[in-house]
Structure 1
Amino acid sequence: MDLAMAARVLITTDYLRPGDKVDRLLREHGLEPIYSPSRGLRTPADRKALFDGAVGAILASEPVTADMLAGAASLKVIARSGVGYDSIDTKAAQRSGIRVCNTPGVNHDAVAEMTIGLMIMAARSLPGVIQSVKDGHWPRTAGRELRGATLGIIGYGPSGRAVARLGGALGMTVLVSTSHPDPSDPAVRFTDLHTTISKADYLTLHTRSDGTGKPLIDCSGLQAMKPTAILINTARGSLIDEEALADALTGGQIAGAALDVVQDEPLTASHRLRDVDNVLITSHLAGQTIEARERAGVAAAHAVIDVLEGREPTNVVA
Structure 2
Amino acid sequence: MSRRIVITTDYLEPGDSVDRLLREYGLEPVYSPAAGSRTEEEQRNLLKGSVGGIVASEPITRDMLAEATDLRILARSGVGYDSVDTNAAEEFGIRVANTPGVNHHAVAELTLALMLNCAKRLNDVITGTKSGQWPRTASTELRGKTLGVIGYGPSGKAIAAIGAALGMKVIVGTSHPDTKADPSIEFADVDTVVAAADYLTLHARAAGTPIIGADRLAAMKDTAFLINTARGSLIDEAALVGALGQEQIAGAALDVLGAEPMTKDNPLRNFDNVWITSHLAGQTVEARERAGLAAAQAVIDVLEGKEPVGLIV
Q: TM-score normalised to the size of structure 2? A: 0.98
CA distance in 1, matches of 2:206, 2:301: 28
User: Are the counterparts in 2 of residues 27 and 33 from structure 1 also a CA contact under 8 Å?
Assistant: yes
Q: Read off the aligned partner of 2:301 and give its amino acid letter.
A: D
Distance in 1, matches of 2:143 and 2:309, equals 39
**Aligned counterparts of 2:312 and 2:78: Cα–Cα separation in 1:** 12
Residue 10 of structure 2 corresponds to residue 23 of structure 1 = no
| Helix, strand or coil at the partner of 2:112 | helix
Structure 1 residue 250: Cα displacement: 2.2
- Distance in 2, matches of 1:306 and 1:55, equals 13
Deviates more, 1:183-192 or 1:29-38: 183-192
Match of 2:301 in 1: 306
Shift, 1:122, TM fit:
1.1
CA displacement, residues 198-220 of structure 1 (integer Å, 9 cap, x when unaligned):
0000000000122x2x2110000
Gaps of 5+ in 2: none
What SS is found at the alignment partner of 2:308? coil
Q: Partner amino acid for 1:144? A: T
Question: What is the percent sequence identity of the aligned residues?
Answer: 62
**Deviation per CA, 1:140-159, whole angstroms, max 9, x where unpaired?**
01111000000000000000
> Matched residues in 2 for 1:79 and 1:187: separation?
37
Match of 1:224 in 2: 219
Name the SS of the counterpart of 2:258 in structure 1. Answer: coil
Does residue 1:50 correspond to 2:43, yes or no? no
Taking the aligned partners of 1:107 and 1:34, their CA distance within structure 2 comes to 25
Q: Is the 8 A contact 1:40 1:265 kept in 2?
A: no
| 1:39-78 alignment, distance < 5 Å | 39-78=35-74
Given candidates 100, 121, 129, the residue that maps to 2:125 is 129
Asked if 1:187 is matched to 2:197, the reply is no
Per-residue deviation, 1:101: 0.2
Aligned to 1:272: 267
- For 2:245, the equivalent position in structure 1 comes to 250
The match for 1:86 among 60, 71, 82 is 82
Match of 1:104 in 2: 100
CA RMSD of aligned residues (A): 0.8
Deviations 1:54-82 (A, max 9, x none): 10000111111111111111100000011
Kindly indicate whether residue 277 of structure 2 is the aligned counterpart of residue 282 of structure 1.
Answer: yes
SS in 2 for 1:78: strand
Alignment correspondent of 1:208: 205
| Segments of 4+ moved more than 6 angstroms | none
| 2:231 is the alignment partner of 1:236 | yes
Answer yes or no: is the 8 Å Cα contact 1:200–1:229 preserved in 2: yes
| Helix, strand or coil at the partner of 2:51 | strand
Alignment coverage as a number of residue pairs = 312
1:118 maps to 2:114: yes
Per the alignment, residue 173 of structure 2 pairs with 177
Given candidates 292, 296, 304, the residue that maps to 2:291 is: 296
The question of whether the paired residues in 2 share the 8 Å contact of 1:256 and 1:279 is answered with yes
How far 1:181 moved relative to its partner?
0.3
Q: Structure 2 matches for 1:135-174, cutoff 5 A? A: 135-174=131-170
Q: Is the aligned partner of 1:196 residue 2:193?
A: yes
The superposition leaves residues 18-38 of structure 1 with CA deviations (integer Å, 9 ceiling, x where unpaired) of 000000000000000000111
Gaps of 5+ in 1: none
| Post-superposition CA distance 1:144-196 (Å, at most 9, x none) | 10000000000000000000110001000000000110122212100011100
What residue is the counterpart of 1:315 in the other structure?
310
1:42 maps to amino acid = R
SS of equivalent to 1:54:
coil
